[in-house]
Chain A
């Protein structure tokens, strides 16, 4: 009976539903994009436009003056360079340590393997604040505090990377590896010359994840740098702009700074979002 009743209303209902769905999707997209779009638009306004009542949503004469002013408040070049150094070296380290450990967990048999793996994976669920206080002291006692090295060294390996690499390296056929062993290749050579190319998409995903995560990271650099402004990454330098955020006159300046911080990770994301999304899906399903 029900089947009959639904076929009696052929087109009208689905198309109404489609219109509703399309409207909802548009609303969600607009709400989601609004803060960032507003931020970029505001960064292009002149101070006079920022102060206008009722507000100007779209600047009449877009200007980049605010971006110039940011470099008067914050050492943008230096901070961007620091961020680049931190994110690049950390990412390189994570890639190497994760590939090596992931290969061991995927392709070797050794005692207490699953116990060690569980122990490492457990650290993935540990909020950083739980270890922050002793870590701060520990890094200080080996003389790395207030330096870029202090930010980088504790982050050169992580459980997520090992987990991701193990998942994907498990899928590489053993025959491929055995053939290379027959030819007398060393294990490290096999890993970097034969295994790595066949899991390249996963490596790209991990690289992007690590880079964006450490570009954006705030709590640890703030803690370990102890106010050494020369080593500040861009996300910490820009916090100076918060003191300009009272009153409308400096809105353009503040939003220009915020836009500068957003650009590198967002550009990477737009270029390579397929890898990001695939690796999240991979880690969720296979986990």
Chain B
């Protein structure tokens, strides 16, 4: 019997494991290997030649390759930090709005918030590049109504990256709101009843019950938000092409430009490895921080 199911397990697993092995795990190992090679993306893997740490030296060096990469790394870090800082509190606030029982319409709000998450980025880019338009864009017209002067949004290096963050927060916050609601439903109502009897006000209930019990959800949301944020590509590729003056040149866009369009496969792979390492460090640090808080 056992033997028979072992064979069945093999059959059941073969399609998925083969596909993921060939198209995800193998390329991941190739990325690591290529990061130590001099290799043009236009040529077969066999034409790669080992260059040790040269690619890493170059992307962190003083040449234009190094400057561009370090700029992209910094932009991605800023972009990621801003996204997480905006998305997490908003998702909890919106989650509380949807989940509370005082006012009807929570489900409708959830539908509206989540629907933006279904919209393809091309439509978001087309619509927002118009909304952000400095001269005839509706956002500046509305700001004008409340007495704020026209903002340059995407056309100034000072505000372009933040404008792209806002566009992405708008699109993704509904997804994280649903995650927050999932976390809120896990908190036993009896805790709030007990706190009310002890005279805790709404803020105290939030501070001492909701937030601590949401920690696991928030950790999960933060990890997903970080991984989503480093993937930002379409609004940059479609609207800003990394500009103005490199201010929106983020890693996914930059790595693709170097590794595919310029065919510098070795350099691009070294950048991809650095992205992966940075992600691992940040996510591990988050988990360590959460574990330490748990022990307190």
Contact = CB atoms under 8 A, between A and B. Distances in A.
Interface in A118-165: 119-120, 123, 125-138, 141, 153-159, 162
Contacts of A132: 255-256, 259-260, 272
Task: Specify the main secondary structure of chain B where it touches its partner.
Answer: helix
A56 to B, nearest CB: 11
A137 B45 contact: yes
16 contacts: A6-B199, A22-B105, A28-B109, A32-B112, A32-B170, A97-B16, A126-B28, A134-B34, A137-B45, A187-B8, A188-B11, A218-B120, A261-B120, A266-B119, A269-B114, A281-B185
B20 A138 contact: no
Interface in B217-237: 217, 220, 223, 227, 230-231, 233-234, 237
Nearest to A135: B27
B53 to A, nearest CB: 18
Contact of B175 (A104, A128, A280): A280
Nearest to A154: B23
Contacts of A158: 20
Contact of B44 (A104, A127, A141, A223): A141
Interface residues on chain B, size class: 35 or more
B227 A101 contact: no
Interface of B: 2, 5-6, 8-13, 15-17, 19-20, 22-28, 30-31, 34, 41, 44-45, 94, 97, 100, 102-103, 105-106, 108-116, 118-131, 136, 138, 141, 170, 173-175, 178-179, 181-183, 185-186, 197, 199, 217, 220, 223, 227, 230-231, 233-234, 237-239, 251-252, 255-256, 259-260, 265, 268-269, 272-273, 275-276, 279, 283
Given A18-B102, A25-B109, A269-B118, 11 more contacts: A22-B103, A36-B119, A108-B9, A129-B230, A131-B24, A132-B260, A162-B16, A212-B118, A269-B114, A273-B111, A284-B217
A116 B275 contact: no
A287 interface: yes
Interface string A253-287: 01101110110011011100100110011001101
A188 B129 CA distance: 50
Closest 5 CB pairs of A and B: A2-B199, A134-B30, A131-B27, A104-B12, A101-B16
A138 B21 CA distance: 13
Nearest to A101: B16
Given A97-B16, A101-B17, A110 B6 contact: yes
Given A127-B279, A132-B256, A242 B129 contact: yes
Given A218-B122, A251-B130, A32 B255 contact: no
Task: Specify the main secondary structure of chain A where it touches its partner.
Answer: helix
A262 B123 contact: yes
B9 A110 contact: yes
A125 B227 contact: yes
Nearest to B200: A2
Contacts of A28: 94, 97, 109, 113
Contact of A157 (B19, B44, B118, B175): B19
Contacts of B275: 127, 129-130
A222 B23 CA distance: 17
A77 interface: no
Interface in A24-70: 24-25, 28-29, 32-33, 35-36, 38-39, 42, 54-55
Contact of B272 (A130, A259, A285): A130
Interface of A: 1-3, 6, 14, 17-18, 21-22, 24-25, 28-29, 32-33, 35-36, 38-39, 42, 54-55, 96-98, 100-101, 103-104, 108-110, 116, 119-120, 123, 125-138, 141, 153-159, 162, 187-188, 191, 212, 215-216, 218-219, 222-223, 235-236, 238-239, 241-242, 245, 247-248, 251, 254-255, 257-259, 261-262, 265-266, 268-270, 273, 276-277, 280-281, 284-285, 287
Contacts of B30: 131, 134, 138
A18 B103 contact: yes
- Select the residue from B9, B26, B122 with max chain A CB neighbours within 10 A: B122
Contacts of A6: 199
A97 B126 contact: no
Contacts of A269: 114-115, 118
